[in-house]
């Protein structure tokens, strides 16, 4: 039993040495950091553009070495979409800023699970279910983030929350 567990951990460590997997994890972490620190969104966007270029370079090296796996192309596409989202978020304020940050986190979540499924750690179906579930959680909690200058925002999780309607029903009766 211990050998099977050690073999599984060795496989995960081997995937961590894979450059595209490391780039995907770092892009996901950068998206989380970018959503928390609104003052450095331009730097985050530039960093994600650089990660996109580096991932394209590694895909080029894979193709040059004879590994013609076209599923790798999804990684720079998702990183580029995250970078564009942060670039637009840096130019916006208020609700648009918050919404674009949430979109970037959701894209980062899909990037993370896409990379996990490409490297055969999880099956694609399971990775998609996890990505949708976590994206739904992020989307549900996003309105709890208070927008600067709008004091009433962030008081309730979302209008879809049943407790939101329960509190307002108590005021009506």
At 111 the pLDDT is: 96
- Reply yes or no on whether the pLDDT at 97 is more than 80: yes
At 62 the pLDDT is: 86
25 Cβ contact partners less than 8 Å away, ≥ 6 residues apart: 112, 115
- Going from the C-alpha of 69 to that of each of 56, 83, 106, 127, 162, the distances in angstroms are 13, 24, 25, 19, 46
- Reply yes or no on whether the pLDDT at 157 is more than 60: no
Q: Which of 14-23, 55-64, 80-89 has the lowest mean pLDDT?
A: 14-23
At 28 the pLDDT is: 94
Instruction: State which of 53-62, 75-84, 141-150, 159-168 shows the largest mean pLDDT.
Output: 75-84
d(CA 92, CA 69): 38
Read off the DSSP letter of residue 122. Answer: S
Q: What is the mean pLDDT of the chain?
A: 82
10 Cβ contact partners less than 8 Å away, ≥ 6 residues apart: none
- Taking the model in full, what pTM does it have? 0.78
d(CA 106, CA 137): 10
At 11 the pLDDT is: 58
Is there a contact between 131 and 109 (Cβ–Cβ < 8 Å)?
yes
The confidence band for 99, taking pLDDT boundaries of 50, 70 and 90, is confident
């Amino acid at each position: 039993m211990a050998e099977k567990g050690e073999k599984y951990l060795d496989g995960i460590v081997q995937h961590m040495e894979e450059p595209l997997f490391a780039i995907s994890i770092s892009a996901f972490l950068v998206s989380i950091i970018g959503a928390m620190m609104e003052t450095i969104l331009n730097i985050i966007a530039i960093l994600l553009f650089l990660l996109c270029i580096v991932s394209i370079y590694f895909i080029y090296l894979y193709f040059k070495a004879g590994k013609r796996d076209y599923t790798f192309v999804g990684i720079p596409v998702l990183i580029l979409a995250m970078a564009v989202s942060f670039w637009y978020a840096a130019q916006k304020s208020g609700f648009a800023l918050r919404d674009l940050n949430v979109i970037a986190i959701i894209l980062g979540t899909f990037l993370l699970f896409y990379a996990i499924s490409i490297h055969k750690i999880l099956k694609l179906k399971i990775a998609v279910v996890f990505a949708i579930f976590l994206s739904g959680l992020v989307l549900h909690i996003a309105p709890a983030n208070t927008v600067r200058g709008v004091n009433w925002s962030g008081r309730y999780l979302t209008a879809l929350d049943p407790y939101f309607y329960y509190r307002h029903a108590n005021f009506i009766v």
